């Protein structure tokens, strides 16, 4: 089954992973800007990173026939440095018209601090002023519920935010209902330990239906599986769901969401679906 991974950090993955993804039926990836594994020292570090995301990664993906899209921001971990964050936010517009740039992301909270919230609000303001979509990171583990509720408060209190154009990612059982009830898109990240699993993601799709739900691998520096979306596909098939139903989550929904970005140009595969997964 052809699928799209709407959240995967390919800068942290080897080229072999692109080959594996292509063999598994991945036709497109969407890569938000994230933490480098250390705190970058200057706005020039971010400029170089954005160059990598918008110029080199699409080329590397194309070696394997995968279409690559990206999002730009200073991530929540580095948002504690408000002055650096403001320099980065001021620099982001230099890249917003590059091909494949879908919007601002992955912004959000990490430890739910005042500085993180301040920088989050300034990113949202930038996104609204430049008419960009927004991709949001919700915190890990014990911080997720509190941080997600805080994020939703900030988004819902801003009447300029178009909720159809916002994806709140890394939802789990205790946050997905809040995100969907407020009218946002919700992404489920399939990590081996610290986030959702394919089986639990399948449960969530069964409980809430496929509307406005996405799944992703968020392939990252830490333990993560870039082929997690095919794992989800298999779990859904194991439960007897039709391919047309599964495809809504792993292919149609990402296209529907991304089609709202002015820089989203996608060439669908023009051949019959491979035997693949």
Partner 1 sequence: MSVSQAASDVFEQEFLPIRAKLLEVAAALDRVDRAEGNAQTDRRRTQVQAAVQVLLRPDDDRAEQIQLIFSRPYEKGWRENLGVNDEFIE
Looking at beta carbons only, is 52 or 115 nearer to partner 1? 115
Pick out residues in 225-244 that bind partner 1 (CB under 8 A). Answer: 239-241
Tell me if 246 contacts partner 1 by CB under 8 A: no
Q: H/E element holding 133?
A: strand 133-137
Tell me if 48 contacts partner 1 by CB under 8 A: no
Cβ(49)–Cβ(36) below 8 Å: yes
Sign of CA dihedral 44, 54, 229, 166: positive
Tell me if 146 contacts partner 1 by CB under 8 A: yes
Tell me if 207 contacts partner 1 by CB under 8 A: yes
Tell me if 157 contacts partner 1 by CB under 8 A: yes
Interface stretch with partner 1, choices 19-27, 156-164, 187-195, 226-234 (CB under 8 A): 156-164
Looking at beta carbons only, is 64 or 208 nearer to partner 1? 208
Exposure letters 140-169 (e unless 16+ CB within 10 A, then b): eeeebeebbebbbeebeeeeebebebbbbb
User: How does DSSP classify residue 160?
Assistant: T
CA-wise closest residue to 101 among 254, 265, 219: 265
Tell me if 86 contacts partner 1 by CB under 8 A: no
Report the nearest approach of partner 1 to the CB of residue 253 (Å). Answer: 15
Alpha helices in 72-143 (DSSP H): 82-91, 114-129
User: What residue ranges bind partner 1 (CB under 8 A)?
Assistant: 112-114, 117-118, 121-122, 124-125, 141-146, 149-150, 153-154, 157-160, 172-174, 200, 203, 205-210, 239-241
């Amino acid at each position: 089954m052809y699928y799209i991974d709407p959240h995967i950090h390919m800068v942290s993955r080897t080229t072999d992973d692109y080959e594996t993804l292509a063999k598994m039926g991945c036709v497109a990836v969407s890569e938000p800007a994230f933490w480098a594994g250390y705190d970058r020292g200057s706005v020039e570090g971010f400029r170089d990173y954005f160059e990598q995301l918008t110029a080199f990664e699409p080329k590397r993906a194309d070696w394997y026939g995968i279409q690559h899209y990206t999002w730009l921001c200073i991530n929540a971990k580095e948002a504690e440095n408000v002055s650096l964050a403001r320099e980065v936010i001021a620099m982001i517009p230099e890249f917003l018209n590059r091909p494949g740039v879908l919007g601002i992301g992955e912004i959000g909270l990490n430890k739910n601090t005042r500085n993180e919230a301040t920088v989050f609000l300034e990113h949202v303001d930038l996104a609204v002023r430049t008419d960009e979509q927004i991709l949001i990171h919700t915190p890990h583990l014990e911080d997720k519920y509190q941080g997600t509720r805080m994020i939703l408060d900030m988004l819902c209190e801003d009447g300029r935010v178009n909720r159809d154009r916002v994806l709140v990612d890394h939802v789990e059982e205790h946050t997905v209902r809040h995100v969907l009830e407020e009218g946002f898109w919700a992404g489920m990240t399939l990590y081996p330990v610290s986030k959702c699993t394919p089986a639990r993601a399948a449960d969530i799709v069964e409980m809430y239906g496929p509307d406005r739900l996405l799944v992703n691998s968020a392939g990252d520096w830490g333990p993560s599986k870039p082929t997690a979306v095919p794992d989800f596909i298999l779990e859904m098939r194991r439960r007897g769901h039709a391919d047309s139903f599964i495809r809504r989550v792993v292919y149609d929904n990402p296209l529907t969401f991304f089609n709202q970005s002015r820089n989203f140009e996608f060439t669908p595969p023009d051949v019959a679906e491979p035997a693949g997964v």
